[in-house]
Amino acid sequence: MSDDDLHLTVLGSATPYPSADNPCSGYLVSCGDTRLWMDAGTGTLAALQRYARLDEVDAVWISHLHADHSADLLTAYYGLLFADVRLTAPIPLYGPPGIADRLAHFLTNSAERSPVESAFAVHELHDGHRTRVGGLTLTTRAVEHGVPAFAVRVETARASLVYSGDTAPCSNLTSLARDCDVLLCEAESATVPVDGPVVHHTGEDAGATASAARARGLIVTHVGRFSTAEHAVARAATAYDGPITCAAPGAVFSIGTRNDDPLPPPPVAIMTETSSLTAIRSSYDTIAADYAERFGDDLADKPLERALLAGFAELVRDVGPVADLGCGPGHVTAHLHDLGLPVFGVDLSPGMVAQARRARPGLRFDVGSMTALDLPDGALGGVVAWYSIIHLSPEELSAAVAEFHRVLAPGGHVLLAFQLWGEAVRLEEWFGHEVSLDLHPRSPEEVAALLEEAGFVPVARLLREPGAGEKVPRAHLLARRS
């Protein structure tokens, strides 16, 4: 690693508020002795100090004035003027028009305006702005975020990095990123909004922008709360065939050595998602609102299923929390909560998770896959998969059952419900929308055998005939982890 390389250190990438282990958007870009603090979201000042003191920062560059990209300028101001930092001159601050007054409005506590310019030498950005910071050349373009917002290309003699800031896909970003070594691109949106302006990238958008720009590598960052870094990377890979990783906090990338792969190995494990799971997620994202309206109260006329869930609740109540996997609109999660269980829902579809959170704001719902759960071993007392295994291929179902066993504590129970399709069914239209879903035929004996092979002890099996509006019989299997 050469000191002349361009180094990118991820201070944080969370949005719209920091996580316990991940500050909001902020990055340290360095080359030789030059240090650039790029975006100053909540919590990034603390992370910055692992690598440099405030008085060692050569400049600050801010993409836009939303708090998750700029809030730590406020505490930096106090650090620069009223603490143990001794400035020889104000630190250059490059930001959107009005940034100095915005800071002063917040910081001023008397009739006299706070001396923002004593801490920062403010330079307002505009489309096409260009400057040098030590050994770095910065070129800025205006992007589309609903407020004044900018992307930046950071270059040395041998390397180039483009940071999107927050933006919808736009031609300015694509042209700015043309042939760059690495594109650091946000992917905040889990779905494209249908009733409002587009102001962010999805994972697919990030991949498409990288592909259109011919970027040599892509780092996905700023992934929103309705998705995960793993899913965003998997989705970006559907539109971009170059190397992709995610901006995990603390990750350091060295950009500049000309080789076949401009990115180091991923700083976190990236889930490789099958095309089947991608199709399931995309299809349920498409129909989420219609599905929630149709099935959001599906237990109301099913007393036998409510009784099964009540018995399950009695068995797991003192063992540990419960995960409702493939929770859909969250009606089963809510029912288990009403039965007194500590429960949360997980669904592959960010759109479905959004519906669940909207309908049941007091409960926890996460985006995730039952084939690769982000949970420690033995963390749960119960797992419910209520009509959510029907789309899984045989290989995916085996992986899911293995995950059920891994995350359950000894004595924990799993309760499965699934339709008994006699033959494979292909759905290409549902609720008037185009989908791509397979309904796999499987018998109670087949699923019970999978459970026993994974280490479960069978407890109960219930078969029932189709009810009103149902086409096929239903099976319910209860098993205990030994």
What does the pLDDT read at residue 272? 45
Three-class SS state of 372 = strand
233-251: pLDDT as tens digits: 988 998 999 999 999 898 8
93-134: pLDDT as tens digits: 999 999 999 999 999 888 889 999 999 999 999 999 999 999
Whether the CB-CB separation of 391 and 437 falls below 8 Å is answered with yes
Question: Which tops the pLDDT comparison, 479 or 88?
Answer: 479
Whether the CB-CB separation of 461 and 451 falls below 8 Å is answered with no
What does the pLDDT read at residue 268? 37
329-352: pLDDT as tens digits: 999 999 999 999 999 999 998 889
Whether 85 shows a pLDDT value over 60: the answer reads yes
282-331: pLDDT as tens digits: 899 999 999 999 999 999 999 999 999 999 999 999 999 999 999 999 99
- Using alpha carbons only, what angle is made at residue 148 by residues 145 and 154, rounded to the nearest 5 degrees? 85
Confidence of residue 261 (pLDDT cuts 50, 70, 90): low
**Mean pLDDT of the chain, nearest integer:** 91
Mind listing the domains of the chain with CATH numbers?
6-255 (3.60.15.10), 275-481 (3.40.50.150)
What does the pLDDT read at residue 269? 38
What does the pLDDT read at residue 257? 56
What is the Cβ-side half-sphere exposure of residue 6, based on CA atoms within 13 angstroms?
A: 26
Whether the CB-CB separation of 174 and 212 falls below 8 Å is answered with yes
| Local structure of residue 172 (DSSP, 8 states) | H
Give Cα separations from 307 to 232, 314, 388, 416 (angstroms).
39, 11, 19, 14
Rounded to 10 deg, the angle between the 275-295 and 350-359 helix axes is: 30
Whether 418 shows a pLDDT value over 50: the answer reads yes
